Amino acid sequence: MEVAWIYLLMIVAGVSQTFAREDLSRKVFVFRHEPSEAYVILRPLLKEPLQNFTVCLRSYTDLTRPYGLFSYATHSEDNEVLIFKPKPGEYRVYVGGEHLSFKVPDNSFDWEHVCFGWESASGIAEFWMNGKPWPRKGLKKGHVVGTDAFVVLGQEQDSYGASYDSYNSFSGEMTNVYMWDFLLSPHKMRSAYQDLQLPHGLLDWKNLQYEIKGDVVVKPRLR
């Protein structure tokens, strides 16, 4: 009876039975096909709207076409938070549907670690790649990121939880995905790149709740 009651509560709360929670240290998501309709859904621990955040992740691919890495959509805005790579040598980051571009070295055939941090009060956006900061820019000052989040890896959402364009899909390996409800300090930005001890956040690679949709597998990291 107790198990059935817990299961009923999970259904009422909208908690999917297919979500796994796992320590993914030294592991990667491998998105195997190109192009692909596959993606990974994440469940951030959101309690209130975000006035600050940082997202970090590490990826490895040989793609030269556009692809989405991290997509956080709300019912009112499909590009609420987005990390997107339109071509080698450039990243685009979005908040509330508006974006900034950052020119980066073309590190084809090597791992790239990026962090995107933002604070509402100043509108300051920070972009870090492989432990180094790019010049800060301004984006969407005063905006508040909604809590009705649908977060996916490997695709760009064109509507809430749907409308994926396989031409913008990611193919390759992804690891070390984190999100915090504050702007990381420079010291912690470098710690994220070095895969050192990090504060607990909304998304934590070492305690990640996720659901795989399509052809994505979890494998040990090779390097």
The predicted-structure confidence for 24-71, as pLDDT tens digits, reads as follows 999 999 999 999 999 999 999 898 999 999 999 999 999 999 999 999
pLDDT of the residue at 18: 73
Residue ranges covered by each domain of the chain: 27-220
User: How high is the pLDDT of residue 13?
Assistant: 38
Q: Residue 132 phi/psi, 5° resolution? A: -120, 135
Side-chain-side CA neighbours of 191 within 13 Å: the count stands at: 10
Candidates 46, 47, 163, 157; CA nearest to 97 is 157
Q: pLDDT value at position 5? A: 35
Name the residue type at position 201: G
**Residue 109, pLDDT score:** 82
Give me the residues of the chain with pLDDT under 50, please: 1-17
CATH architecture of 27-220: Sandwich (2.60)
**What pLDDT was estimated at residue 32?**
96
Beta 124-129 vs 132-133: how paired, if at all?
Answer: antiparallel
Q: Which amino acid is at 40?
A: V
Question: Which residue's structure tokens are 């592991």?
Answer: 27
State the pLDDT at residue 152.
98
Q: Half-sphere exposure of 118 toward its Cβ, with a 13 Å CA cutoff?
A: 27
